[in-house]
Amino acid sequence: MASEPFEEEYISDIGPPHYEKMLPPVIKKNYGKWAYHEVVKPGVLVHVAESGDKLYTVRVGSPRLLSIYTIRELCDIADKYCDGYLRFTSRNNVEFLLTDESKIDALIEEVEKIGFPVGGTWDATKAKYGLSNIVHTQGWIHCHTPAIDASGPVKALMDALFDHFKNMDLPGLCRISLACCLNMCGAVHASDISLVGIHRTPPSVDDDVVRRTCELPSTVASCPTGALRPDMKNKTIKVDESKCMYCGNCYTMCPGMPLFDPENGGVAILAGGKLSDARSPARLSKVVVPYLPNNPPRWPEVVDTIKAILETWAAEAKPHERIGEWIDRIGWEKFFEKTGIEFRVQLIDDFRQPRHTFRATTQFRW
């Protein structure tokens, strides 16, 4: 399906390098023939092939935003211990792949020396779970729509939760994610705990910018709640503020109507989502705190709230039980009681047909 190249020598549409080129020999040999794995210690996995071959993985936490100079340092380590093979995980950790068990400790020492911690693994057999990296987005480093920064809150949180990254001391898997706006570039909508940047005031329309840069009909149509009306006379857009729930979709369509409001924007916390189908089905995260202030550089309210959720769950959950599963067992009313989070009216759904989120039973706890 590739189309014609533009000119004779113009290389395009070649796609990524074939994955085989990137695989260490032990993987090529045992591809698809792994027998089992074990967690050697926090941060270190061994995968054993049917052939008996062993592949060790050392998992290393990463800020995701990496300078090429750091990447080269990581490559140096991989060259030294891993015959030049490494990978990244779906949660942005770095994984060193090696076959020689005896090199593991030296590798760990070296990588930690340059500031990269080893950890983030979990051991289902022993029901000991480490906290992994926080999946996150661009924030103020690159995006035009963020209500909050991304890398900053993640750094603050990982510092606060660092022991759980190192120690596999949680009862179940706990995935934390962050997105800097409701576009939610990531799996914020399906994580055990997540934080998302939110706006709380309607767009600030600059008629001039709207006139210059926006297509009125498609912008008006972009509002899911019908809060926008074209003002044909002035070739701009009017916002019915009572209908706006600050999703920012209009701003994505039209640069003339940003929603930024430094003192009112902030963070919503979601909880209880999961992606795996292990035990209970995958499910969406639910908003548990509608708003916390946007408080750089360390977002203490956010960090405290997330710690409260995480530590309450960690103290109470049964082995393997994730946050959503724990809530299934104890009920939402107890979740709010135990975590000390105030139940606010904003948590009650009022978007589209919210009826399946209302309680239609007298079953509840006191």
Partner 1 sequence: MSNEEFPLLSDLKKGPWPSFVTEIEKTAEKKPEMRDLLKQLERSYEDKITYWKHGGIVSVKGYGGGVIGRYSFLAKECPGVAEFHTMRVNQPAGWFYTTEALRTICDIWEKYGSGLTNMHGSTGDIILLGTTTPNLQPCFNELAKNGWDLGGSGSALRTPSACAGPARCEFACIDTLDICYELTITYQDELHRPMWPYKFKFKIAGCPNDCVASKARSDFAIVGTWKDEIKINQEEVKKYAEAGVDIKGQVVDNCPTKCIEYDEEKKEIKIDNSNCVRCMHCINVLPKALKPGDERGATILMGGKAPILEGPVMSWVIVPFMKMEPPYEELKELSEAVWDFWDENGKFRERLAELIERVGMMAFLEAIGVEPDPRQIKEPRANPFYFWREEDLKPRTDPWEIWRKAEKEM
Q: Which of 59, 127, 123 is nearest to 96 (CA)?
A: 59
Instruction: Give the separation between CA 224 and CA 43, rounded to whole angstroms.
Output: 44
Q: Do you know the residue count of the chain?
A: 366
Stretch that binds partner 1, among 33-41, 98-106, 231-239, 301-309 (CB under 8 A): 33-41
Report if residue 93 touches ligand SRM, rule: CB under 6 A. yes
* Element (DSSP H or E) covering residue 49: strand 44-49
Instruction: Give the separation between CA 51 and CA 125, rounded to whole angstroms.
Output: 22
Per-residue binding string, ligand SF4, 215-254, x by CB under 6 A, is -------xx-x-xx----------x----xxxxxxx----
Asked whether the bond before 5 is cis by omega within 30 degrees of 0, the reply is: no
Q: Which residue shows structure tokens 């902030």?
A: 266
Stretch that binds ligand SF4, among 27-35, 178-186, 287-295, 306-314 (CB under 6 A): 178-186
| CB closer to ligand SRM, 175 vs 287 | 175
The pairing of strands 266-271 and 286-293 is antiparallel
Residues numbered 203 to 222 that lie near partner 1 (CB under 8 A) are 204, 206, 213, 218, 222
Residue 363 Cβ vs ligand SF4, minimum distance, rounded to whole Å = 7
DSSP state of 290: E
Q: State CA 206 to chain mean position distance.
A: 33
| Side chain identity at residue 181, one-letter code | C
Residue of 46, 48, 75, 124 interacting with ligand SRM (CB under 6 A): 124
Report if residue 91 touches ligand SRM, rule: CB under 6 A. yes
Instruction: Give the separation between CA 254 and CA 272, rounded to whole angstroms.
Output: 34
Instruction: Give the separation between CA 331 and CA 268, rounded to whole angstroms.
Output: 21
Report if residue 127 touches partner 1, rule: CB under 8 A. yes
Per-residue binding string, a copy of itself, 255-294, x by CB under 8 A, is ----------------------x---xxx-----------
Output the CA angle 106-109-112, nearest 5 degrees: 145
The pairing of strands 176-179 and 193-198 is parallel
Residues numbered 136 to 175 that lie near partner 1 (CB under 8 A) are 137, 139-146, 149, 151-152, 155-156, 158-159, 162, 165
By CB under 6 A, the count of residues binding ligand SRM is 33
Report if residue 221 touches ligand SRM, rule: CB under 6 A. no
Q: For residues 91 and 52, is the Cβ–Cβ distance under 8 A?
A: no
Residue of 290, 307, 308, 311 interacting with partner 1 (CB under 8 A): 290
Exposure string for 186-209, b = 16+ CB within 10 A, e = fewer: bbbbbbbbbbbbbbbebbebeeee
Instruction: Report what 268 binds from ligand SRM, ligand SF4, partner 1, none; CB cut-off 5-8 Å by kind.
Output: partner 1
User: Which residue ranges make up the site for ligand SF4 (CB under 6 A)?
Assistant: 137-138, 143, 145-146, 179-181, 183-185, 202-203, 222-223, 225, 227-228, 239, 244-250, 259
**Which residues contact a copy of itself by CB under 8 A?**
277, 281-283, 352-353, 356, 360-363
Residues that bind ligand SRM (CB under 6 A): 37, 39, 45, 89-91, 93, 120-122, 124, 132-133, 135, 137-138, 142-143, 145, 173, 175, 183-187, 252, 274-276, 278, 320, 322
